Structures are given as structure tokens and as C-alpha cells.
Amino acid sequence: MTSRSRWNRNLLLCSNLQPSFHPIVRKFTGQRSGITFGQRIRASLVLSVLNMVVSSFVETKRIGVCIQHNLIENPKAYVPISIWWLLPHYVISDTSDALTVIEFQEFYYNQMPEGMRSLGAATLYVVFGLRSFVNDGIIVCCSCNQLKIWG
């Protein structure tokens, strides 16, 4: 469910990253690809950590609003908080994923022998598909457990 919409956002971000990001970075690094494989992976990891920090601030704000309006004990209540609080989380998360997807595609294409390039690309998509299934399974399990707890 959520993974499909995230995949669509990643495709949109990937298509916009190439013409805008690479020429700017290419001027600073002098490399054809802009930044190296290791630099992209490091940037993705740094963005993932930054994403967790931003998410913790948003969750702290959400819980503060819940306490302020006495909504902690009511799991079905709507929290009066703007949806724009979620925007930084999604932007950082999708940028991190886009860097990772692009780099792994380039890695499989450049490092694999000629006859195995399509197998490498297929493996990448299988891994992302499995990640989506596991993600949805965890969400379903957590939702079922919360329904049992809250009755």
C-alpha cells in the first residue's frame, strides 16, 4: 500500500535528480558521474540518520499536541496537527532512497559482466519488491497487535 506510492515518489525524484543535481556536483568534483559510489552511499546513510532525527522531532511535537488536548487515551481521535509537519520526513526519506536506487543501478550496470547486467538489475528490483512485502507485513502485524491492545 504505502510502498507503491513511495516507489512512485522515488521514480519522480530519480528522474529529476539527474538533470539538476549532477551538473552542479560535477563542477565541484570534476567527475563524470558527479559523486562516487561511496559518496552516494555515505550521503544516503547520513540522510537516513537525519531522517530519524527529524522524525523524532515530529513525533515529539505530535505527542505534545496529544497531551495538550487530552488525546493520549483516545486512539481513534484526530490529532489537530498540520500535515505539513510530515513533509521534511518524506523529502529526506525519498532523497535518501533515490540516491540508493540510482547508485545500485549504476553499480550493477558498471560492475557486472556484459551477459549478467540484466540479472543484476532484476536482482535489484526483486530485493526492492521483497522489501515492500516485508514492510507491509510489519505494518499489518503492528496494526493487528494495536487493535488487540486497544480493544
CA distance 93 to 82: 19
Q: Which helix (H) or strand (E) segment is 5 a member of?
A: helix 2-29
Half-sphere exposure (Cβ direction) of 90: Cα atoms closer than 13 Å: 14
Q: Tell me what pLDDT residue 30 has.
A: 75
Is the whole model's pTM more than 0.85, yes or no?
no
pLDDT in single tens digits along all 151 residues of the chain: 455 565 556 555 555 666 666 677 777 777 776 777 788 888 888 998 999 999 999 999 999 999 999 888 887 888 899 989 988 988 888 888 877 877 788 887 788 888 888 887 788 888 888 988 998 888 888 877 665 655 5
